Structure 1
């Protein structure tokens, strides 16, 4: 993954020997928690059964509809009993969330949803057992229901919800767009402290929550003071004489937390990351409590010799800064290195080498989440309909997408006004002195309409229009109001000369027809009955 020998890291170091590789913290956390989930047998079986339960419930639209109906009934009962509060957007129905293979936080949300919808899920499985169409559905639902209502499953459900809630906070922080490496290491240390505190002092409260959960959902709990029996329960197979409570506390509760701590210590090893340890000497929290001149000089000497060539000047600046930062109010109550760098810029202090070193430490990456999001967005920007997009245009669009927080604060009309006012960049090249409103009205609004009219006039030519106008003289609507002998004769002469060779005979017939129109009441009656609209009705009557 690191590409240390023939991968991307090796290519970077070949071009720039002074570059430093920092493994993505979010990926490290993902690897650590994945190992912790697979190496404990009970946890591995729990996730397998969790996936199976979700797949069974969400397999068909009928089950999903039944699942939501049960949620609605339960919500109405809880509201009537005063257990739920009503409000806009509250008590919405939802589905069970599937756990992703690469996103550990999705497993936490999957567990969280199941805890919230535990009764609804149990009711759906019970209905499938009672009304299953075949033995396969009945058997799958029966196995999932037994697992769901077992004490081992409930114990792991609450334990992983507790531990993963702690790790999820770090996971979300590491995926933020701006995250400093020292702050990330502080978050890792804080997470380790929470897990250690849970292991040492959290068993009593956690055990009480498990018992309360089992009582609320009518799950049979074992006698915790009884002896734990391994294997098939034979006395010859029992190696240790321990109680059931001791088994759940030591073999599951402590084992899961210990394995997570071990993986976190091995993958986030501060002792082996000298760069991170030395960088922590610049941490401004608690009034520069970690400030250490020797560590900072060692950091510059080992990792940034070309950026800070004179260590004596750096040491002098650090000594002056150490003496003055307690008196400078601007440097009080700082929490991050980025805030420290901003104060250096705002106050324009003479500590240029310290400011440069702070900027270099800020460039150390913590997570590749932002980069991965940018690559994912590239598929949306450069799709199959815009596959011939140039690289420059793609780079501009990607910049706007990545820095969308800055772009959202820019008023679009101000950009349009500035762009139009600039033209090609020289006032001497502006030919017309017009307002922006005039430009959009004349050059765009009027131009588009004029072009459409021109195209319509060219495609619907005079000859076609004349044919339609002359044909309208045969329109029988409104008692032949449009009837015109001259137009009909002109129509026959211009467009149908071979079909009507004798125009005099046509004119005589038209005159007789016009004279007899008032007497042809039957014809008009039929026309009215048939709708009396158009030439087709006239042809039908004849």
Structure 2
């Protein structure tokens, strides 16, 4: 558990940062998942060495991993498996499988693909990760918001818009998509580049909804599974908008 918490700690802290770049967050998810899978394949021996060292230091009897496992509930019944097999298959692997499955469910292929394409709109470092191909594919993922003619127009509008804002010093120090949307309204570029602005709004809304759903899981736990809708809404507002609540 110490190793698992250590591997996932960086990801957990990164996802809570409001200025976290989505592309970096997606890479961190992938690296964390790969780290857990690698530890599942090769980590038991190192864990066993640590446990053996701990037991030797404090004169604790060490279980022989090569001997047959004895089920404490049915001591007279032969199990036909070794102690190593029992601890790997019934203890070590299930814990790691649970963590890997949770990451896979929360950041599935569709979500990861969406976040990766949304990151191409990030204004951080003067739009360093901008990709027209990714953004056009992102528009395809919102078929109800862009008709055929608008998709064709978006191709030209994207290139013109990004070139414009890169040369505008007012956009130089922006970090998040929300900041980009606000600056476009402030400079009235949302009128000239209405399709790009629509794409930004959809991306910001998608990220905000994902954040709200994540927060709801922290609010509606097993101990509060009968919480009412009104109280749930009020609690979520206080939890999600903590920085504003502290000013009240």
- Superposed pair shares fold, TM > 0.5: yes
Indicate how the Cα distance of structure 1 residues 305 and 208 shifts in structure 2: closer, same or farther if over 3 A, else same.
Answer: same
Partner of 2:211: 367
Please say if 1:196 is aligned against 2:40. Answer: no
CA-atom RMSD, angstroms? 4.9
| Structure 1 residue 310 corresponds to structure 2 residue 150 | yes
C-alpha deviation, 1:332, in angstroms: 8.7
Contact 2:136 2:154 in 1 (8 A): no
Larger radius of gyration: 1
Secondary structure at the aligned position of 1:282 is classed as helix
Partner of 1:253: 92
Correspondence for 2:5: 164
Q: Which residue of 188, 199, 222 maps to 2:63?
A: 222
> How does 1:169-184 map onto structure 2 within 5 Å?
170=11
SS of structure 2 residue aligned to 1:194: helix
Counterpart contact for 1:170–1:188, Cα < 8 Å = yes
Give the equivalent residue in structure 2 for 1:354: 196
Any conservation in 1 of the 2:19–2:176 contact (CA below 8 Å)?
Answer: no
Instruction: After TM superposition, give the deviation of residue 283 of structure 1 in Å.
Output: 0.9
1:460-484 Cα shifts (integer Å, max 9, x gaps): xxxxxxxxxxxxxxxxxxxxxxxxx
Cα distance in 1 for residues equivalent to 2:210 and 2:75: 50
Contact kept? 1:283, 1:290, Cα under 8 Å: no
Deviation by residue 1:31-79 (Cα, 9 ceiling, x = unmatched): xxxxxxxxxxxxxxxxxxxxxxxxxxxxxxxxxxxxxxxxxxxxxxxxx
Alignment match of 1:270 (pick from 89, 98, 109)? 109
User: Which residue of structure 2 aligns with residue 280 of structure 1?
Assistant: 116
> Which secondary structure does the structure 2 equivalent of 1:237 belong to?
coil
Q: Deviations over 1:200-241 (max 9, x none)?
A: 4444443333233334444322233x223243566x72434x
**Structure 1 residue 366, shift from structure 2 partner:** 2.0
Within 5 A, what are the aligned runs for 1:7-86?
A: none
The equivalent of 1:296 in structure 2 is: 138
Q: State the secondary structure of the residue aligned to 2:34.
A: helix
SS of 1:363's partner is helix
TM-score for the superposition, normalised by structure 2: 0.60
Structure 2 counterparts to residues 206-245 of structure 1, below 5 A: 206-224=47-65, 226-231=66-71, 232=74, 237-240=78-81, 242=82, 244-245=83-84
1:229/1:282 Cα in 2 relative to 1: closer, same or farther (>3 Å)?
closer
Q: What is the rounded CA distance, in whole Å, between the counterparts of 2:94 and 2:27 in structure 1?
A: 25
Cα distance, 1:401–1:246 mapped onto 2, change above 3 Å: closer
Is the 1:282–1:288 Cα contact (8 Å) retained in structure 2?
A: no
Q: For 2:68, what is the secondary structure of its paired residue?
A: coil
Which structure has more relative contact order (CA 8 Å, sep 6+)? It is 2
SS at match of 1:367: helix
Give the Cα separation in 1 of the matches to 2:231 and 2:4: 31
8 Å CA contact 1:180–1:362 kept in 2: the answer is no
Structure 2 match to 1:93: none
2: CA distance between counterparts of 1:324 and 1:214? 66
Describe the shift of the 1:247–1:348 C-alpha distance in structure 2 as closer, same or farther (beyond 3 A): farther
Q: CA deviation at 1:298?
A: 0.5
CA distance in 2, matches of 1:299, 1:347: 28
Matches of 1:167 and 1:401 in 2, distance apart? 24
